[in-house]
Amino acid sequence: MDFSLSETELEVQRAARAYAQRVIAPRAHELSERELFPVAELRGLAELGMMGVNLPAALGGAEAGVVAYSLAMQEVAAACASTAVTMSVTNMVGEIITKFGTPAQAERHVPRLCSGEHVAGSFALSEPEAGSDPGGMRTTATKTSSGWRLDGQKQWITSGTHAGVFVVWARTGEPGTRGISCFLVEAGAPGLKIGKHEDKLGLRASSTVPLTFDGCELPESALFGPLGGGFKIAMTALDGGRIGIASQACGIASAALSAATEYAKDRRAFDRPIADFQAIQWMLADMRTELDAARALTLRAAWLKGRGQPFSREASMAKLFASESCNRVCQKAVQVLGGYGYTREFPVERYLRDARVTTIYEGTSEIQRTVIARLILA
């Protein structure tokens, strides 16, 4: 077994870390407090190839692989989880279009996603009454003489305010998962309305909005993948997306551990650094152990995906464990900092708030357990 990283992976990790620490981390607090979408930071990431880490060079991607993508995500998330989720969904949208789109769809959108011309891409699956169960979606796509007409609502759409392109799922046939198809919708499409920004606990610099499709007219060429084959596309995309969210969780946990470690060495009580107390040492030891286990699961899933091997169960296990352990690590980080950990003066309260959603989006922990159990029992 070889745990070493390739030269390309190390290079991507170094570039992501340097940019994240030099440019993104110093702005993360302000971005979060003022709920500013990180346009300049995302464009900087695009220049470094981070918006298409695992995409073919012919389409403008970095072609550096899935492990490199996970490492880059971890570095960006350690600086700013909001910027990281935008990067994650944009990479995912680029991958979906590359894998399932026609050459014309890929050539039109993927280079724009990779270069930052589209500052982000959006993935529009969830609806107000269909989150864990997308088979219950109500948005419809009706055939017209010139193409398709979309009617319905999507909910919780990351980057919806800034996306240049949306991958949207809608019902074209029978109820359930077999009657769903997938469409590419460009920003500004007539009949697409972007709703009000959600007022969230964390990830306050990421955009999360509802979308309304009110007789949204699309050309014939907007159909994406086979008619009725949309659900499979969504599930395949989410398998990969879960590696992104697991990586995001690892990044947040790593930032929380660093902050807690520094503080424990510095803060004094009873005439000694609190790092001298075994209670604090054990918290740090547990945090590091959980983080390393989360990273191992995440990189294993990334490695399998990169080799073209089955990775659904491993991606769900990585997402489940990394997200839940990230929450435990952030809770402990706040505890190490005591009262200061509970204030905006230190970043650990932001890490804790940002961590919370990782057990919810791209499939809740309950859904990950369901997927894992189904694959064990298959």
**Residues at the contact surface with ligand FAD, assessed by CB under 6 A:** 89, 123-126, 131-132, 156-158, 200, 203, 208, 357, 360-364, 366-367, 370
- What are the phi and psi torsion angles at 345 (to 5°)? -70, -30
Question: CA-CA distance, 80 to 203, in Å (whole number)?
Answer: 9
User: What are the angstrom distances between the C-alpha of 364 and each of 197, 238, 262, 291, 317?
Assistant: 22, 12, 32, 20, 12
| E strand map for the chain | 120-124, 140-143, 147-158, 163-171, 180-186, 192-194, 208-219, 223-224, 268-269, 272-273
Count how many residues are written for the chain.
Answer: 378
Q: Of 225 and 306, which has the nearer Cβ to ligand FAD? A: 225
Taking the complex as a whole, the smallest distance from the CB of residue 88 to ligand FAD amounts, in Å, to: 10
Q: Of 243 and 304, which has the nearer Cβ to ligand FAD? A: 243
Taking the complex as a whole, the smallest distance from the CB of residue 179 to ligand FAD amounts, in Å, to: 18
Query: Among residues 132, 137, 74, 32, which one has the least CA distance to residue 367?
Result: 132
Query: Among residues 244, 236, 238, 317, which one has the least CA distance to residue 66?
Result: 244
Query: Among residues 222, 120, 153, which one has the least CA distance to residue 181?
Result: 222
Q: Of 67 and 119, which has the nearer Cβ to ligand FAD? A: 119
- What are the phi and psi torsion angles at 219 (to 5°)? -70, 165
Taking the complex as a whole, the smallest distance from the CB of residue 238 to ligand FAD amounts, in Å, to: 9
Q: Of 31 and 125, which has the nearer Cβ to ligand FAD? A: 125
Point out the residues that are catalytic.
362
| Both tokens assigned to 332 | 């402990």
Q: Of 161 and 172, which has the nearer Cβ to ligand FAD? A: 161
Taking the complex as a whole, the smallest distance from the CB of residue 123 to ligand FAD amounts, in Å, to: 5
Taking the complex as a whole, the smallest distance from the CB of residue 186 to ligand FAD amounts, in Å, to: 17
